[in-house]
A and B are shown apart, each in its own frame.
Chain A
Amino acid sequence: MRLQRLGLVLLLVLWAVSGWHVGQTPLARASEAGEILLARGTKLYLDGQYREAREQLLQAEAVDLQNAEIKLLLGITNFVLHDYSQAREALTAALNLDPGVPRGKLYLGATLYYLGQYDEARRWLEQAKAETPNEGLVYYYLGLCAYQKDRPTEALSALTTGYTLAPEYAATFKAYERALEAPRPRVERPFDLTLSAGIEYDDNVKVLPDQTVLPYLATDKHKADWRIPIMARGEYRPIRTEQMVMGLRYSGYYGINMNLDQFNFFDNLAEIYLRYYMGRLTIEPSYGYNLTFWHEERFSQFHNAGLRLSLIETPILTGDLTYLFQDRSFRYKVAPDYKRSGYLHQVGLYQTLALGAKGAWRIGGVWERELAEGVNWSGNTYRVLTELSYMFPYQIFAWGSFAYGRTNCDNNDTFFGYRRHDNYYEVNFQLRRPVNAWLDVIAGYIHVSQRSNIPDFEYDRNIYQLLMSASF
């Protein structure tokens, strides 16, 4: 019996050592058919026929399910075709079959980077670094992951090592180094909050006309004042997937005038929106509630329904089409002819051109139709606007805009007896510079000028502002 047991044990040992058992997973060679399909796929890949190469490699994969070489090239081909999900699947399978498959960890790390899975990408890239410490591309991608995770010091260090090890790629990756010196896009968080305050000088707080036919408006010509503005802007995005974002946003402004406190103005706009991504197209319907107070009394209440369509036309050009409907209610007492409560329809079309990583230029046109209860406000407004932003050296961010609007009222003015026409001009200019990671200082200037065929509607206004803005 003992001999039989010994013999059995010996047989088991021999069987285990021989490798001819089910549990063994040796490196799998491509079969004859698989090798030919792999070679055919390789040839097509080298010829730049990536889709045809993928076809052959998928056939090869079906023939040799356990072949790491086939899965590696399939992963690379999917990577070239920007099909990163499929690339991840194939490269992961290749590494499961053969953890030593050449550059597999680098390719998988890069694939995960493009999928936005920066932590997982970093894990694979660290493994690749441990195995091939002189591979420059591993450091480049580690740098890119650190860049995306908002770790600039680590990103710069990794990129510098990448330049040293693989200077032939330096020019390509230098863009990231430059971007690290410029303000970067913020890592997507579920909330944003910005609080701002400062001092402003407004030379026409009352928005008084330059000259008026109404004697009671001319009694107190003092219309300039210093003001403390307090502004808040917040956004909360509780639902975020790859396809959509649903969130709430609020913006508020409270202007406290030093002397003309009866002109203190408090504006609140709260919105709920759904942003849905369909490839290059983003659709964003929203509902907003706008409530304002003038001198601590309710001034107006709007219900807004909006829709914004954004299309990425080219990598540097984005188009926006907007529609806004407002149900407007003004609460101040006025003669029936001057009641402004009613509805507003607004359609806007914009083109935004990215100026490299440092700026953008936008041009747009807006048509607006106002329908008021009183006769004196209903009309059409046509507006063109343009704005430009640019990041200068020393992190000085400049923003400027110009808008021109033409309003044609439908009805005769009750006082003058003819239709009112306005020409509206607005110029904004702001300079902003960060003081530290969360605080900016802002200097701004706003000029508004309205010319009208009815003198009561003509006015000019200049506002100079110095603000501090804290972002959380």
Chain B
Amino acid sequence: MIEHGQGLRWHRVLWSCLVIIITAAQGVSAQDRQPAAEIIALTGQAEIKTPTDQSFKTAQLRAKLYPRDQIRTLAKSKAKLWCQDESVLILGENTTLEIAQYLIDEATGQRQSLLRTLTGKLRFVVHKFYKAPEPDYTIETPMTIIGVRGTDGVVEIATGDQVYLLEATKPLSLKNKTTGEMLDLKPMNFAICEAHKAFQVKPITPAIYQRLTQEFQLSHDTDPENLVQPPPPLEAGVEPGKPATILPPVDQAPFSVIHPGSKRTPRPSPPHPHSPPSSY
């Protein structure tokens, strides 16, 4: 009986531990699954893949992205993401991005973000609100690690990566993953990062600037609701501020009410019957 009781107690402890572990895991998962970003503009087609999905699924405007989700744009498509920390990411066509890590603590002003750009082109406008001494926003490509501290840049992935820094108060920290070389990229310059080669740094010419501007233009494309619901024709005013009705104004008959005794529009009444018509 004692042995049985001890066994029961062990079972209880085991089950309690299991419950605690599951609860904790669920807690982490729920915290982890806070949305990191939302699609706020979209032209063409974009797709999202969550960690549990086997394949990408079509994404709509306002779709939310969570840590460890991937988003990709198809040909002739662009998407703009509004991140929880108010950073903005604009994906060019044929671009795949993974939100590998996204931790925000607004109370302490701490964040730790890691985005993996697997293919394509990405413009990143990282909010300066979180003033960390070291880069706390990392974008990783197959070739380069980019440390960001509140800046506006573009990364393009081709045979080698090209990283552009447009406007910024601080340089971008670049690291070539194959050589380990580090570089601080200054504003209005771009760096070419290729495997086993040193960084090449060049200035951004007006032509490049214009190209980047055009490529990452993504206007709002949701029609205002009253555009497709115009007022009924009755309200398309005949006179400003006055709805059209097919009754005349209150002080006018729609057609002359011909007998002079009409009361609505005061008119001369007939003579008093005590007076014979011949008398006037």
Contacts and interface: CB of A to CB of B under 8 A. Distances in A.
B268 A302 contact: yes
Contact of B86 (A40, A364, A405): A40
Contacts of A179: 232-234
B263 A405 contact: yes
B254 to A, nearest CB: 5
Given A324-B266, A430-B255, A446-B259, A101 B219 contact: yes
Given A35-B152, A80-B225, A354-B234, A391 B280 contact: no
Contact of A334 (B87, B128, B266, B275): B275
B276 to A, nearest CB: 6
B255 A196 contact: yes
B274 interface: yes
Contacts of A10: none
B223 interface: yes
B250 A267 contact: no
Contacts of B277: 206, 262-263
Contacts, number: 293
B250 A352 contact: yes
B40 interface: yes
Interface string B201-228: 0000111011011101111111111111
Question: Chain B CB within 10 Å — which of A40, A42, A385 has the most?
Answer: A42
A62 interface: no
Contacts of A322: 250-251
Nearest to A456: B273
A277 B242 contact: yes
Nearest to B254: A399
Contacts of B107: none
A344 interface: yes
B230 interface: yes
Interface in B82-122: 82, 86-88
A112 interface: no
B29 interface: no
A82 B226 contact: yes
A200 to B, nearest CB: 7
Given A27-B213, A185-B238, A354-B234, A169 B224 contact: no
B274 A338 contact: yes
A405 to B, nearest CB: 5
B136 interface: no
A253 B258 CA distance: 7
Interface string A19-32: 11000101111011
B220 A72 contact: yes
A103 B259 contact: no
A467 B99 CA distance: 80
Contact of B216 (A29, A36, A73): A29
A312 to B, nearest CB: 6
Contact of A27 (B82, B210, B218, B261): B210
A426 B273 contact: no
A128 interface: no
B47 interface: no
A207 interface: yes
A147 interface: yes
Contact of B213 (A28, A300, A324, A360): A28
A160 interface: no
Interface in B43-58: 43
A292 B210 contact: no
A173 B233 CA distance: 9
Contacts of B264: 366, 383, 385, 403
A306 B277 CA distance: 32
A338 B258 contact: no
A415 B222 contact: no
A285 to B, nearest CB: 12
A188 B222 CA distance: 35
A297 interface: yes
A251 B276 CA distance: 29
A110 interface: yes
B159 interface: no
Contact of B250 (A172, A332, A348, A359): A348
B6 interface: no
Given A253-B258, A463-B259, A188 B227 contact: no
B177 interface: no
B84 to A, nearest CB: 11
A208 interface: yes
Of listed A32, A40, A308, A456, residue having the most chain B CB within 10 A: A32
Contacts of A381: 263
Nearest to A209: B273
Contacts of B252: 251
A102 interface: yes
Interface of B: 38, 40-41, 43, 61-62, 80, 82, 86-88, 125, 127-128, 150-152, 166-168, 205-207, 209-210, 212-214, 216-247, 249-252, 254-280
Given A69-B219, A310-B242, A446-B257, 9 more contacts: A39-B88, A72-B220, A77-B224, A103-B221, A137-B228, A179-B233, A185-B236, A207-B273, A457-B273
Interface of A: 18-20, 24, 26-29, 31-32, 35-36, 39-40, 42-43, 45-46, 68-69, 72-73, 76-77, 79-80, 82, 101-103, 106-107, 110, 116, 137, 140, 144, 147-148, 169, 172-173, 175-176, 179, 183-186, 188, 196, 200, 202, 206-209, 212, 214, 216-217, 229, 231, 233, 242-243, 245, 251, 253, 255, 262-263, 265, 267, 269, 277, 279-280, 282, 290, 292, 294, 297, 299-300, 302, 304, 306, 308, 310, 312, 315-316, 318, 320, 322, 324, 326, 328, 330-335, 338, 340, 344, 346, 348, 350, 352, 354, 356-360, 362, 364, 366, 368, 376, 381, 383, 385, 387, 389, 391, 397, 399, 403, 405, 415, 424, 426, 428, 430, 442, 444, 446, 448, 456-457, 461, 463, 465, 467, 469
**Lowest 4 A-B CB distances belong to which pairs?**
A332-B280, A19-B206, A185-B238, A179-B233
